Structure 1
């Protein structure tokens, strides 16, 4: 059971892993919300004293302690069966929402019954925007957008660090893709919500200060592995077949030519996603999961009410 006011319409799910340095600030901010809520913390087998902090916090959050680290996506998936409220909020453990964050997100979804998710404005401690939501690029990458014009034009998807979703809509489209572990679980979920006929709202007044990367290591090998692999997972599951096939082929082709470019003395970016070993690992993981991913694609198709090409075209209009 989650804790909080019985009149609450939202369960705030905070997934943490080794969050001793920042999870208290997150829980303090959740406790200070102006709207009634319930809270559930998923502890991904932290071994740094996080469990003691959670037990001592005055808000007395309900805690699900996992036996192993399942990542952000796995933690959210583990929490979903325990959510009995109308809405479920996803909140990073290194995020600090303003007191009216939840109220503004709930009000936005109340005003637009066709929207299944509302994306907050994530910003630095200095107020610089980090994300108002997620766009989809022409090659199928999910990318944070800070374009204030999205308030009227909308966004393709929500940023999973501080968003509010209709619980039943999330369940109806298949829940959270636990196997993603970390990254792209929000863009994949946004894809499936749009295939289900829903939209996503940006709510720029709902502000959240985010210590970006406090819980992960942007730029690390695993960061690039998850991003590259999960983009392909997402496309295979959700995108038009031609787009998924094209992007998988492009990834494989670039993987094959990178050693040749190095032999030719070409200067290549130093990032991990330009290293052959990592790319081969990603391709191996995708090939190993291809049959299950295809089955998931069929299940997503069976639930969809909007054709994949229509969703893709709305995200990538002709120029």
Structure 2
């Protein structure tokens, strides 16, 4: 489908970084959508030939090239001021949506006026479900769900949002870099009394972690840090303080425990770095929390109770 059409209701945002191995497949799939759309690719200063592939692609996507790697969250935040369509889609550069992906998500939001976002079903290349949305655990972790029941938020790998609602909720938290920016955004939408839909019929093949290497040191750093950022911004105060204290206590006792898992998030050095990053931002996070409160129409406690009852 030709992009850039004036009748387009959606701008598809694709954020890429060193995506030469997979960006062409993503753009081919976006171009094949049955619904008219615009496309904007945010190139996070790729140095692997991605820029040449974008310039040569027959869909002629609009490209915003950043001077440095701002991550997925930073790339989305940088692009949003240039979006003037009714909807904005978030799409990973290693995701390949089916031709009816966008049409199904647009139709789902049209049918539910009180919903601000709709998430697709992400699948592996073999057809195994990866995520149809995110649930919240009792300690405030985001957990990918493969069934629509209990979905708290959308998975940012392939989702559609109402542009005005996203702006009214405060946009995308650019400092997250990557991970939890979708759950934080979903939380703020729910604090404004908006729903988040799961649309499993809208299917997307996803090369999960092609750019960020799940299980790596950086992966765990972003995951642990951004969960705490999110809780301090969005959760009831008691939950946020409890989880920050729990993280600190576990960090303190790790040297005295035996048979620890080998994962990076159980290593004292990484956890101390996360604590340092969070503590250094406590004052800005407090300001961000007040801003979230000022935009909310539902209490944090009500959203938290709903999330835990639905999970």
The question of a shared fold, defined as TM-score above 0.5 by the shorter chain, is answered with yes
Q: Secondary structure at the match of 1:217?
A: coil
Query: Aligned partners of 2:262, 2:162: CA distance in 1, in Å?
Result: 41
CA deviation after TM superposition for structure 1 residue 279, in Å: 0.3
Paired position in structure 2 for 1:60:
60
Q: Secondary structure at the match of 1:267?
A: coil
Paired position in structure 1 for 2:301:
309
Q: Is the 8 A contact 1:15 1:93 kept in 2?
A: yes
Paired position in structure 1 for 2:260:
268
TM (norm. structure 1) is 0.96
TM (norm. structure 2) is 0.98
CA deviation after TM superposition for structure 1 residue 154, in Å: 5.3
Query: Aligned partners of 1:114, 1:50: CA distance in 2, in Å?
Result: 38
Q: Secondary structure at the match of 1:126?
A: coil
Paired position in structure 1 for 2:11:
11
Query: Aligned partners of 2:229, 2:13: CA distance in 1, in Å?
Result: 24
Paired position in structure 2 for 1:98:
98
Query: Aligned partners of 2:58, 2:10: CA distance in 1, in Å?
Result: 19
In the alignment, structure 1 residue 72 sits paired with structure 2 residue 72: yes
Q: Which residue of 222, 235, 245 maps to 1:249?
A: 245
In the alignment, structure 1 residue 223 sits paired with structure 2 residue 219: yes
Over the aligned positions, Cα root-mean-square deviation in angstroms equals 1.2
CA deviation after TM superposition for structure 1 residue 20, in Å: 0.2
Paired position in structure 1 for 2:292:
300
In the alignment, structure 1 residue 174 sits paired with structure 2 residue 173: no
Query: Aligned partners of 1:205, 1:145: CA distance in 2, in Å?
Result: 15
Q: Gapped runs of 5+ residues in structure 1?
A: none
Q: Gapped runs of 5+ residues in structure 2?
A: none
1:147-187 per-residue CA deviation (whole Å, 9 max, x = no partner) reads 2xx2xx45100000000000000000000000000000000
In the alignment, structure 1 residue 208 sits paired with structure 2 residue 204: yes
Q: Is the 8 A contact 1:121 1:129 kept in 2?
A: yes
